[in-house]
Structure 1
């Protein structure tokens, strides 16, 4: 089967999930309150705060209420778009100040490079914002990899466990769904992608689940395109 495009998840797929939970999330949590207070009236942040008010159902929520809500969403690992966008803004600061680099598995780096060289279109679909995705690959352990990618998708496209999100991705990429391979470490995401007609592969770096219902690879070395 011809592979025209590969869409990859980030956490647990190209990147150690612990990098997100031990580095990125704590950094955003620590910097969040001061960042919101300092930048609340700026063009990048003001619409995010309005989206958060809509999410809360409280159009009059003040900054301290919003800060509390953002922190609660982080603690609950909620996939809330205004939070993800805010985290992306805060991570810009962290990456640019070289407080950390974006983690990437070495096997993921090698194969992404090869697939790009072979002319396969590379795309990202992550619950993290597009800004956060570009930062991770732009400031990766291996340098700036963003030129390899043809597009990025986040929760504004749709929930990752919703087949319609993958149908939208197929329409955007513009090739038959069965020529697109989706990589993820979450079976439910792969189920939704397969429902939309994509080919799938489960990245199971720690242990292989019983009856995942999808091809399984322990590393990118085992992925067949």
Structure 2
């Protein structure tokens, strides 16, 4: 599963190490060392995945993540951070990152995370229904598109995955471990709080969409989350 990967890391040795491990996996890797160049290279030819260090000169990794996510909801972003506090990690996820690793990390763990993100975004359409419909909510898994009553809703890869899981069985309560298993593919490494942040962002985007009446991801306390029916229709 070869991919074009952009690595933005200001530490030259770390950038080289990441590049070596990813190239061993068969990927084509381009490395940059500051946030401004990362944005320029990404816009020149959108990569299949971005590995993004938080602490970079010119433009911080978090700002790069925010800008990239505003311009493309499809490109998976894996952030690398030395800031291990929950606030810093949740901020990265809130800005649209799909996954994160805290330094120091194992290069093998990084390649495993990259592999999982690429697998999720490249999952063949034949493995699941092409279009999921719940009321006026339509999820096109082949085109990575979400619409409510015809109006598009821009989601990150993880938000899209969570919504697709919930919409496949509307009304059913999915626990956090189930969501992690189906969307993240890295169950032992993902905290429940990470799922909560992605769901919070998903819920906000759905509620802000035009004609979103009744389109609610409901929290079932002590259990998990479910998609309320009907979605996008008047109750």
Q: Give the TM-score taking structure 2 as reference length.
A: 0.30
More helix by share: 1
